[in-house]
């Protein structure tokens, strides 16, 4: 049986607009479709953990509105314990507006709303969940002070801390980085945080090295269709992505993070966990939406089983 996972983060209602191409500054383009989907990086990652079989509880804040009620229902339905969620009377559930072009690429604007109420005092009131868990997974759509407190408290209790630095701030305080076991940026976030410029794998390696020099033990960089890179004290290792036709990349990184922590909690090695997460993420991009795109454990096992069969026959990588 896997270990316990605590996800701390944001819960949003996503308004997704599809279009042929992104508008330039000052330009108006016609959208093709508007959909409402439950999202937020914290909720998406908790949902992924639940869908993929992890033992998970979530801390975060919603408004006293239909979007907040929808989040509770959706997360609970996939096995996430939401009894610790906070409900704000003054603030509405967070909102994200997502623009998706014909290639499946996206741009996102987030209004925090009730996510601002996920503060240090609230986390202190739920200290029993820090004691209960083995892994803490966080992102950066809640106050930095709360993230720093949670990482420090988890480290003090000997828990494993995974921080997905999305959206990436201009700077992550050194005292926070010192409490993180795995930092999981995408390529854009890596470059912003490291200050490295350029593109290609050499720039990615330089960026990961720069972050590790700030005291991190391990950096896992998600690279979209290029897969992922792991940087640790032993150097760099790359992991090719499973080929997939991207329809919407909205929750690909969230799915990766949720799958990664599930795999670690089940005792997989880092190599196995990244391959597991790569496979899950490759499935998420083939469907529209955020939580609605995340595969179940059964669906993922079918893909992984097929890949193993092809490798045995000499057809895999």
Instruction: Annotate 108-148 with DSSP letters as a single string.
Output: EEEE-GGGGG--HHHHHHTHHHHHH-SEEEE-SSS-HHHHH
Closest by alpha carbon to 208, among 196, 224, 200, 225?
196
What pLDDT sits at residue 306? 54
* Side-chain-facing half-sphere of 166: CA atoms under 13 Å: 27
Provide the residue ranges of all domains of the chain, joining segments of one domain with +: 4-10+40-92+116-310
User: Where residue 249 falls among pLDDT bands split at 50, 70, 90?
Assistant: low
pLDDT tens column, 36-47: 889 899 999 999
Tokens found for residue 59: 């801390």
Name residues whose C-beta falls within 8 Å of residue 183's C-beta, 6 or more positions apart in sequence: 163, 165, 177, 211, 216, 218, 219, 220
Residues in the chain: 317
Q: With a cut of 80, say whether residue 5 has pLDDT above it.
A: yes
Residue, of 29 and 1, whose pLDDT is higher = 29
Q: With a cut of 80, say whether residue 181 has pLDDT above it.
A: yes
Distance from C-alpha of 173 to C-alpha of 145, rounded to nearest angstrom: 10
Pairing of strands 86-88, 61-63: parallel
Per the prediction, the chain carries an average pLDDT of 90
Q: Give the bridge partners for 8, in sequence order.
A: 59, 138
Q: With a cut of 60, say whether residue 316 has pLDDT above it.
A: no
Pairing of strands 31-39, 12-19: antiparallel
SS3 315: coil
Q: Which residues are annotated as a binding site for ATP?
A: 186, 222-227, 253-254, 278
What pLDDT sits at residue 291? 77
| DSSP H or E segment with residue 157 | none
Distance from C-alpha of 96 to C-alpha of 99, rounded to nearest angstrom: 10
Distance from C-alpha of 220 to C-alpha of 166, rounded to nearest angstrom: 13
Distances, alpha carbon 15 to alpha carbons 7, 221, 250, in Å: 23, 27, 11
The conformation of residue 93, written as its DSSP 8-state character, comes to: P
Q: With a cut of 70, say whether residue 314 has pLDDT above it.
A: no
Tokens found for residue 73: 């229902």
Annotated active-site residue in 119, 181, 254, 271:
254
pLDDT tens column, 267-287: 999 999 999 999 998 887 667
Q: Residue for token digits 């601002």? A: 116
Distance from C-alpha of 231 to C-alpha of 238, rounded to nearest angstrom: 9
Pairing of strands 228-232, 235-239: antiparallel
Q: Which of 160-164, 170-174, 306-310 is predicted with the least confidence, judged by mean pLDDT?
A: 306-310
With b for 16 or more beta-carbon neighbours within 10 A and e for fewer, the 210-220 pattern comes to bbbeeebebbb
Annotated catalytic residue 232: no
What pLDDT sits at residue 16? 86
Average pLDDT rounded to a whole number, residues 212-239: 92
Q: Which residues are annotated as a binding site for substrate?
A: 12-14, 40-44, 141, 254
Domain at 4-10+40-92+116-310, CATH from 3.40.190.10, 3.40.50.1100, 3.40.50.720, 3.40.1190.20: 3.40.1190.20
Average pLDDT rounded to a whole number, residues 237-249: 76
What is the pTM (predicted TM-score) of this model? 0.88
What pLDDT sits at residue 247? 63
Distance from C-alpha of 59 to C-alpha of 110, rounded to nearest angstrom: 19
What pLDDT sits at residue 251? 77
What is the percentage of the chain residues whose pLDDT exceeds 90? Answer: 73
User: Where residue 317 falls among pLDDT bands split at 50, 70, 90?
Assistant: very low
Determine how many CB atoms are found less than 10 A away from the CB of residue 280.
29
What pLDDT sits at residue 286? 64
């Amino acid at each position: 049986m896997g270990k316990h996972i605590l996800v701390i983060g944001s819960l949003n209602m996503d308004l997704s607009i599809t279009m042929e191409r992104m508008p330039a500054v000052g330009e108006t383009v016609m959208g093709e479709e508007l959909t409402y989907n439950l999202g937020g990086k914290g909720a998406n990652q908790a949902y992924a953990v639940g869908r993929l079989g992890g033992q998970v509880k979530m801390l975060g804040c919603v408004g006293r509105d239909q979007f907040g009620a929808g989040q509770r229902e959706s997360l609970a339905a996939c096995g996430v314990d939401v009894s610790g969620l906070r409900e704000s009377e003054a603030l509405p559930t967070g909102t994200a507006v997502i623009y998706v072009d014909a290639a499946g690429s996206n741009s996102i604007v987030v209004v925090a709303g009730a996510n601002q109420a996920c503060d240090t005092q609230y986390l202190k009131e739920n200290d029993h969940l820090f004691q209960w868990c083995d892994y803490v997974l966080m992102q950066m759509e809640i106050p930095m002070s709360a993230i720093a407190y949670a990482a420090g408290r988890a480290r003090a209790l000997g828990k494993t801390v995974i921080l997905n630095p999305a959206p990436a701030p201009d700077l992550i305080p050194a005292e926070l980085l010192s409490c993180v076991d795995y930092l999981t940026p995408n390529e854009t976030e890596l470059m912003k945080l490291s200050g490295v410029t350029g593109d290609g794998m050499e720039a990615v390696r330089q960026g990961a090295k720069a972050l590790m020099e700030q005291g991190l033990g391990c950096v896992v960089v998600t690279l979209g269709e290029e897969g992922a890179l792991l940087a640790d004290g032993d150097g760099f290792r790359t992991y090719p992505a499973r080929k997939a036709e991207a329809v919407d990349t909205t929750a690909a990184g969230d799915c990766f993070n949720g799958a990664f922590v599930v795999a670690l909690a089940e005792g997989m090695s880092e190599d196995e966990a990244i391959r597991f997460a790569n496979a899950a993420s490759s499935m998420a991009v083939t469907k529209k939406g955020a939580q609605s795109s995340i595969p179940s454990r059964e669906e993922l096992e079918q893909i992984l089983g097929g890949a193993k069969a092809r490798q045995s026959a000499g057809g895999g990588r």
